[in-house]
């Protein structure tokens, strides 16, 4: 389930406020407020279902009287043209909440589906697929949740819960060694320090400086394999940069521990759903 209920609720209510504003002009002018009905949520393509609890919560924020009859659950692979859930309740509420609920569900299921594709490409290899901070502003909680549903692993949530020393930090500090020294002085000992490097020399310096994780940025797989052999299990190694479905297995075969994929959250296509009112 979503980790932070309070933040989840704020995101949902803000999205509804954005869409409804002072009221749903179309629905209030066309639909009898006492009308009840049903609507069917149907997939149009095969997908990994993610965000169903958020989808339901959107409707319940508009009307607590809406009920759901589920045919599939969170994390299920749902074939094309299948009914996911049947909604019943006040017809006006079903129509008013429809778009906001679908927006969340389509994005989250799209992310989960793409994540599953990357995970399946790796197969039994040890590398874990990580997300990044390249998320939709304000939606990171849901984006990263969807990655987990798809079988991926969350990297740091934000700037506050992990140290990742990147090229600009190194430039500002003067060297990898200096940047790691400063980080060790400034953060609790329980926080791991990760350093981004671009070549073997940088990896050796980061290892000598006491980094806990090394991030190989935009490095050719053959070079990655060399660094992994040099590290020899002393610390964890992550690969990043232009990770696509076509090359992810080759990268995993270098024996890195993690592969971070920005595309999971910045380029996932929206999953294809339809919500259709069921005629009486």
Active site members: 99, 134, 166, 196, 217
Residue 213, SS3 per DSSP: strand
CA 39 to CA 95: how far, in whole Å? Answer: 9
| Residues whose CB falls within 8 Å of the CB of residue 236, separated by 6 or more in sequence, listed in order | 212, 213, 214, 257, 258
Show the tokens assigned to 19.
Answer: 């869409």
What are the strands of the beta sheet with 67-70, ordered from one edge?
67-70, 83-90, 36-43, 273-278
Three-state SS for 39-66 is: EEEEECCCEECCCHHHHHHHHHHHCCCC
Closest by CA to 239, choosing from 140, 124, 126, 83, is 126
What value, to the nearest 5°, has the Cα angle with vertex 270 and ends 269 and 273? 140
CA 132 to CA 38: how far, in whole Å? Answer: 39
Do 193 and 183 contact (CB within 8 A), yes or no?
yes
């Amino acid at each position: 389930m979503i980790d932070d209920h309070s933040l989840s609720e704020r995101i949902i209510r803000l999205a509804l406020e954005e869409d409804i504003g002072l009221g749903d002009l179309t629905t209030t002018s066309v639909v009898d407020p006492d009308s009840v009905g049903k609507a069917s949520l149907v997939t149009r393509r095969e997908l990994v279902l993610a965000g169903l609890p958020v989808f339901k919560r959107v409707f319940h924020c508009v009307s607590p009287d809406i009920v759901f009859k589920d045919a599939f659950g969170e994390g299920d692979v749902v074939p094309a043209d299948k009914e996911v859930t049947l909604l019943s309740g006040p017809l006006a509420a079903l129509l008013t909440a429809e778009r906001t609920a679908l927006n969340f569900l389509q994005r989250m299921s799209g992310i989960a589906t793409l994540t599953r594709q990357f995970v399946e490409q790796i197969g039994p290899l040890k590398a874990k697929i990580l997300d990044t901070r390249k998320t939709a502003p304000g939606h990171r909680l849901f984006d990263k949740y969807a990655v987990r549903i798809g079988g991926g692993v969350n990297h740091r949530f934000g700037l506050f819960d992990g140290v990742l020393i990147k090229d600009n930090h190194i430039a500002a500090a003067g060297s990898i060694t200096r940047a790691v020294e400063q980080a060790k002085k400034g953060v609790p000992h329980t926080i791991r320090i990760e350093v981004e490097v671009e070549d073997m020399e940088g990896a050796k310096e980061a290892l000598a400086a006491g980094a806990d994780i090394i991030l190989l940025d935009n490095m050719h797989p053959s070079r990655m394999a060399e660094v992994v052999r040099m590290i020899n299990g002393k610390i964890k190694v992550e690969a990043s940069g232009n990770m696509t479905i076509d090359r992810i297995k080759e990268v995993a075969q270098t024996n890195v521990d993690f592969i971070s994929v920005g595309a999971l959250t910045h380029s996932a296509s929206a999953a294809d759903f339809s919500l259709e009112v069921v005629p009486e």
